[in-house]
Amino acid sequence: MIQIENISKRYGKKMSLQNVSMTIEKGEIYGLLGSNGAGKSTLLSILATISEPTSGEITIDGLSLRKKKKQIRDRIGYVPQDIALWEDQTVKENMVLWSKFAKQHVSDKQLYDICQMVQLGEKWHEKVSSLSGGMKRKLNIAVALIHNPDILLMDEPTVGIDIQSKLEINHYIRQLAQQGKTIIYTTHDMSEILFLCEKVGILKEGVLQFSGTLEQARKKAGVEGITTTNDEELLYYLFEYGIKIADINRER
């Protein structure tokens, strides 16, 4: 379980995150929705131990992120928004190079099997520069899976790619959750959130507008007399206006 409590992050005079709190259960796909600059990438970079929060605490399975950073880092796979690959190297060479950072030895066969899982086996000997945008995104995910992490942090992994590749990646993410991996998934795309996620968090200008299940949101919206025709419309409402998180938490 991931417990995030009152996390804030300041860059100079700008507050990128303001007292963000949420709980993410093991094996859950938690969707984090928000516009550019909302704080999604900042939160993921903190969870990935790349940056430090200004204040607040994070615990993962009872371990403090501040005190057990190295131990927790080994359990996390991070898929950054930017493609982190060597364009002039082949798929195999990229996988081998990234595997050098893994603590345990990973054989070429194991690396190939990971690529097979993301439907890149037939591109094993091709240069990354020759791959489509969707294939590069898949390879970015494969790299994060080399050390078989328990937690996967995915920062807009389908941005800028075709619909077919997006669907393939989304189906694969579901499979990973079914295998017990905990996934935090950031996106601008509400349809992805609805397809993938058991629980949703909505960030707006560094403030968490809402965190909970869609069922909780529907119930709360009904109590407040808000009528929506579908869940996508409900998400739009939450994004614009939010629902008091304390109220949601009391109903759990």
Portion of the chain with pLDDT greater than 90, in percent: 65
| Close Cβ partners of 208 (under 8 Å, ≥ 6 residues apart) | 20, 21, 22, 201, 202, 245
- Vertex 224 angle, CA 16 and 185, to 5°: 35
What is the Cα–Cα distance from 51 to 100, expressed in whole angstroms? 23
The separation between CA 20 and the C-alpha centre of its own chain, rounded to angstroms, equals 16
User: What is the reported pLDDT for 6?
Assistant: 97
Task: With CA atoms as reference, report the closest residue to 201 among 191, 212, 190.
Answer: 212
Is residue 252 very low, low, confident or very high in pLDDT (cuts 50, 70, 90)?
A: very low
Is residue 152 very low, low, confident or very high in pLDDT (cuts 50, 70, 90)?
A: very high
In tens, the pLDDT along 87-131 reads 999 999 999 999 998 878 999 999 999 999 899 999 999 999 999
What is the Cα–Cα distance from 97 to 26, expressed in whole angstroms? 30
In tens, the pLDDT along 39-64 reads 999 999 999 999 999 999 999 999 99
| Poorest-pLDDT segment among 87-91, 106-110, 213-217, 233-237 | 233-237
* Contact between residue 58 and residue 4 where contact means Cβ atoms under 8 Å apart: yes
User: What is the reported pLDDT for 247?
Assistant: 43
User: What is the reported pLDDT for 236?
Assistant: 79
DSSP lists the bridge partners of residue 78 as 153
Task: With CA atoms as reference, report the closest residue to 158 among 118, 127, 131, 189.
Answer: 189
Distances in Å between the alpha carbon of 70 and those of 16, 73, 75, 234? 25, 5, 9, 39
Tell which wins on pLDDT, 242 or 196. Answer: 196
Strand 182-187 relative to strand 29-33, pairing: parallel
User: What is the reported pLDDT for 221?
Assistant: 72
- The phi, psi pair for 117, rounded to 5°, reads -60, -30
Whole-number mean pLDDT of the chain?
Answer: 89
Domains detected in the chain:
2-75+150-251 (3.40.50.300), 87-149 (no CATH)
Element (H, E) at 96: helix 91-99
Tell which wins on pLDDT, 143 or 214. Answer: 143
- The phi, psi pair for 184, rounded to 5°, reads -110, 125
| Residue matched to tokens 């968490």 | 208
Portion of the chain with pLDDT greater than 70, in percent: 92
User: What is the reported pLDDT for 250?
Assistant: 43
Please state the three-class secondary structure of 129-142 as a single string. Answer: HHCCHHHHHHHHHH
In tens, the pLDDT along 160-178 reads 888 888 899 999 999 999 9
